Amino acid sequence: MTACGNWTGSSPGPGWCFPTGSPRRTSPPPSRPPAGPVRPVCSPVARSGGTPWPPPTPDEVTRLVRAAGSRVALLNSDAGDLAAGERGYGNDPRLTVRWRQRLREAVQLAVDVDCPLVNVLAGIQLPGFGVEEQHDCLVDNLRWAADVAGAAGRRLVVEPINDHDIPGYLLPRVADVLALIDRLGHDHVLLQLDTYHVSRT
């Protein structure tokens, strides 16, 4: 996850953005702005705190990031229809082709903006499919995706999302994600630790 706001050094100014979670983070995120000047990272794509509509194309995102001279710490792969309650769909056997295409596009965007990490949301538990089957589908997708990311010099991160805010999320706890990572055994898949979601479990 990234946090966006109005700090530039110690005074208000253009938007800033920094990761509030990182692979296997062991310390809390900063509670104050970082010292020294900080270039706007989310501006103008996400500085307003909302998602622009229509959303910018990958080429437009790349242009904006380069024009701002910004560094992107992390970006998300396609999470599906958030307004409809989706939170990823890597666990859905019916959508493997679409998921892999979108993941490949996310990795390419990460390359274009020199972003090292792509966050992958696991998905909501699906009726009509066993939990084990959904885990198997997610593992197969992530194994494929880890090779794609690795070949591009990127890494994937998987984030636990608490099931109080998002009921039915497939990986609600840190232990769930760590078990997934251990099962994958791939150097290019890491834990994205969001302290908010950890506090809600």
pLDDT digit string (tens) for 3-23? 333 323 332 233 333 333 333
Q: What's the pLDDT at 158? A: 96
Tens of pLDDT, residues 82-97? 888 889 999 999 999 9
Closest CA to 121 of 162, 151, 150, 153: 162
Spans of the chain below 70 pLDDT = 1-53
Query: How buried is 3 (Cβ within 10 angstroms: 0-12 exposed, 13-18 middle, 19+ buried)?
Result: middle
Strands 2-8 and 74-76: unpaired
Structural domains of the chain, ranges and CATH numbers in brackets: 2-199 (3.20.20.150)
Closest CA to 162 of 122, 200, 134, 117: 200
Cα-Cα-Cα-Cα dihedral sign, residues 59, 95, 152, 24: positive
Give the predicted TM-score (pTM) of the model. 0.73
Q: What's the pLDDT at 113? A: 95
